[in-house]
Amino acid sequence: MTHTEFYRGRRVMITGGLGFIGSNLAHRLASLGADILLVDSLIPDYGGNLFNVSGIEDRIRINVADVRQASTMNYLVRDREVIFNLAGQVSHIDSMRDPHTDLDINCRSQLTILEACRRHNPHVKVVYASTRQIYGRPDMLPVTERHLVRPTDVNGINKAAGEYYHLVYNNVFGVRACSLRLTNVYGPRQLLRHNRQGFIAWFIRLALEDREIPVFGDGSQVRDFVYVDDAVDAFLRAGATDALNGEALNVGGSEHMAHRDLVQLLIEVAGTGRYRFVDWPAEKKAIDIGSFYADSSKFSHAVGWTPEVKLREGLTRTLAYYRANMRHYLDDPDTAEAAR
C-alpha cells in the first residue's frame, strides 16, 4: 500500500485545519478519499479562512473550536486514526510582544491534545508541525537534526517544547508521534493580511499590488523554501508510517537563495513590484537567525520524500492563485480589487 492509498477511508483530524498548510492538506486528503475532520479556532490574524476549503465543503467536517479546551478535544480525538497537529501561533514578533499567549497556544494546547489522545485514543498517530526556528542561529550549514536546539525567540522556545511533548508521549505513553521541522513553506491559501507570519507571503502580496518590497540589510541572508504541496506530501508520508515514531526531522527545500535574489525572481515572475534595501527593524534584528537552510536527507531516506516543485514554478502557481482569489485574503475589498 502506498502512502496515498493509506488514506482512503482513513479517519483523519487536522488541527489548524482552516489555516495555510492545514487546508492544503485537507484538499489533498479529500482527493484521496479520507474521512476528514478539521478543527480550527478561527482566531483573527492567525490565518484560518473558510475560503481555504472552498470546493471541498461536502467532503469535510469542520468544528470551530479551541484546541486548548480539554472537554472538546477529549471528544474530538476519540475515533480518529491520524491527527495532523498544525494548530499554533506562528508569529515570532507576536511571541515577543505577548509571550504568555504564545505559551498558552503553543504549549498548553499541545498538552491538551496529547492528554486527550493518551486518555481517549491511545492508538492514534500524531504528526506535529514544528519549525526550523527552534535551532536558532546555525553554527554550520546545512543544518542537520544533530544541531543544538537553541531558539532566539519565545516562539522558538514554545515550539520546541511542543515538539518535545510529542516525543515524550510517544516514548513514555505509547501515543505514536513524530515531528516535522519545517523551513519556509509558501504557496496558495497563506495569510496575506499582515506581515507577522513570515516574509515570503508578504513579499508576494507587495509584488502583486505593485508595491515596494523592503529587503532588510543587504539581502544576503539565505533561506530554503518548500512549496506547500511538497510540505503536504511530507505530512502524508509521515502519517502513514511508524518508522518515524519518536523522531524529529527536518523538512526543507532543495533550493536555497539569498533574500535579494528571491525578491528579484519574484518580481520577474510577477511582472510587477520593486524592492529597496532598508535597515533592519530593531525588534526583528534582535531575533534574526541569519542564513539558514536544512539538510532533509534523514527524512528523505526514511520515507522517500523529495521536494518536487522548484521555486520559480511554485511562485508562478502562488501568484496565479492570489490573482484569482485575492479578495478572499484581504480585509479591504477595494484594495483586493485594485490588486487584481
pLDDT digits (tens, 9 = 90+) for 43-63: 877 789 999 999 999 999 999
Residue 68 near residue 108, CB atoms below 8 Å? yes
pTM for the complete prediction? 0.94
Q: How many CB atoms lie within 10 A of CB 288?
A: 16
Dist CA 296 CA 274 (whole Å): 33
What is the per-residue pLDDT across 159-171, written as a single tens digit (0 to 9) for each?
Answer: 999 999 999 999 9
In angstroms, the CA 278 to CA 217 distance is 6
Q: Residue 104 has what pLDDT?
A: 85
Given a cut of 50, whether residue 114 has pLDDT beyond it is: yes
The correct CATH number of 199-223+255-291+309-339 out of 3.30.930.10, 3.90.25.10, 3.30.110.30, 3.90.1170.50 is 3.90.25.10
Every domain of the chain with CATH number 3.40.50.720 lies at 5-186+226-251
Question: CA geometry: angle at 180 spanning 158 and 176, to 5°?
Answer: 95
Residue intervals of the chain classified under CATH 3.90.25.10 are 199-223+255-291+309-339
Provide DSSP, 116-180.
Answer: HHHHH-TT-EEEEEEEGGGG-S-SSSSBPTTS----SSHHHHHHHHHHHHHHHHHHHH--EEEEE
Predicted pLDDT of residue 282: 84
Least Cα distance to 200 among 259, 142, 146, 121 occurs for 259
Angle at 115 between CA 111 and CA 116, to 5 degrees: 120
Mean pLDDT of the 252-257 span: 95
For the domain made up of 5-186+226-251, the CATH class stated in words is alpha beta
**Does pLDDT of 195 surpass 80?**
no
**Which residue, 307, 303, 235, 171, is CA-closest to 12?**
235
Kindly indicate the confidence band of residue 197, based on its pLDDT and cuts at 50, 70 and 90. Answer: low
Q: What is the mean pLDDT of residues 139-165?
A: 95
How much is the pLDDT for 200? 92
Q: What is the mean pLDDT of residues 122-130?
A: 98
pLDDT at 199: 86
Q: Tell me the per-residue pLDDT of 69-83, one tens digit each, with 9 for 90 and over.
A: 999 999 999 999 999
Closest CA to 17 of 61, 58, 59: 61
